[in-house]
Amino acid sequence: MTAQLVASTLRVSTPLIFAALGGMFCERSGVINIALEGMMLMGAFGAAVGTLVSHSPWLGSVCGMGAGVALAAIYGLFVIRLRANQIVAGMAINMLAMGLTPFICKILYDVTGSTPSIPIAERFQSAPLYLSWGLVVICFLWMRYTPTGLWVSFAGEHPEALAAAGIRVNRVRWVAVLVSGALAGMGGASLSIFLSSSFSRDMTAGRGFMALAALIFGKWKPLPTALACLLFGFADAVQIRLQGVALWGDQPIPVQFIQILPYLVTILVLAGFVGRSRAPKALGTAFQEG
């Protein structure tokens, strides 16, 4: 029972970790990423199609990451190049993904609901799980010990200082946005070709926003963010397990209260009731290069 719960916690946390780390690069560089949800959805779709075509989950996840990057490129074009409001553009990108996935699915497979299912031999068994934790370590080391990691932080905290040091702020932000698209796409891929057997419509079901919540709960730092993903994943695993279980009499347990917990703690943390979480200083402000 316990071992099973641990295993399912680790599994359902995987997409969250990828997406939250993607969100971290983007937001630490000063670009808000409300569009994680849409990038995950595109990634999930791209990965399912890629796997169905290539019969390899590895090539499939590359396709998923590519789909995430493509959407991130549109996002970057609007928020960095055209200085669109990052929240408005982010919501629009989510809408675009919600519209494009069934649209393309219909063209490719003549159904809007979901892609054909992927045989179990062609799906991931556990690779994304290990990959995600490897990535946590890499991100931690990268952000802390490399010059490029420092650039990302400066682009989000003091873009003027970075520009004064001769680094192109918007170039750093472009890379960060594209990396976030790739990672969110991988998060989506781990939904469609690792946790389930096909892409289905709107299958991310708010996980992009939950990843965003984990990022805030984790104070925009790799290790705490990953732990927050684990905590939210645990809540999810418990909730799945308790669904339909009777508590007393024949009353089923209202799992809704477990479902809302991640969102509730995020509000409390952000408000400083439980610890304190501070956003990068220049988060959400466009940088105009002189």
Phi, psi of 43 (to 5 degrees): -60, -45
Q: Does 54 bind other proteins (CB under 8 A)?
A: no
Closest listed residue to residue 281, CA positions, set 30, 85, 80? 30
Q: Does 272 bind other proteins (CB under 8 A)?
A: yes
Q: Length of the chain in residues, anyone? A: 290
Cβ distance to other proteins smaller for residue 163 or 283: 283
Residue range at the interface with other proteins (CB under 8 A); choices 51-59, 119-127, 184-192, 205-213? 205-213
Q: Does 237 bind other proteins (CB under 8 A)?
A: no
x/- contact string, 100-119, with other proteins (CB under 8 A)?
x-xx--xx--x-x-------
Q: Does 216 bind other proteins (CB under 8 A)?
A: yes
Residue range at the interface with other proteins (CB under 8 A); choices 92-100, 126-134, 141-149, 242-250? 92-100
Minimum distance, C-beta of residue 206 to other proteins, in the bound complex (Å): 6
Segment 155 to 184, residues that bind other proteins, using CB under 8 A? none
Cβ distance to other proteins smaller for residue 36 or 193: 36
Q: Does 270 bind other proteins (CB under 8 A)?
A: yes
Minimum distance, C-beta of residue 117 to other proteins, in the bound complex (Å): 21
- Binder of other proteins out of 7, 87, 138, 247 (CB under 8 A): 87
Cβ distance to other proteins smaller for residue 77 or 227: 77
Q: Does 274 bind other proteins (CB under 8 A)?
A: no
Segment 56 to 85, residues that bind other proteins, using CB under 8 A? 74, 78, 81-85
DSSP the chain: -HHHHHHHHHHHHHHHHHHHHHHHHHHHTT---TTHHHHHHHHHHHHHHHHHHHS-HHHHHHHHHHHHHHHHHHHHIIIIIS---HHHHHHHHHHHHHHHHHHHHHHHHS-SSBPPPPPGGGS-SSHHHHHHHHHHHHHHHHHHHSHHHHHHHHHHH-HHHHHHTT--HHHHHHHHHHHHHHHHHHHHHHIIIIISSS-BTTTTTTHHHHHHHHHHHTTT-HHHHHHHHHHHHHHHHHHHHHTT-EEETTEEP-THHHHTHHHHHHHHHHTTSSS-----TTTT------
The residues of the shown chain that bind other proteins, judged by CB under 8 A, are 32, 34, 74, 78, 81-85, 87-89, 91-96, 98-100, 102-103, 106-107, 110, 112, 206, 209, 212-213, 216, 254, 256-257, 259-260, 263-264, 266-267, 270-273, 279, 286
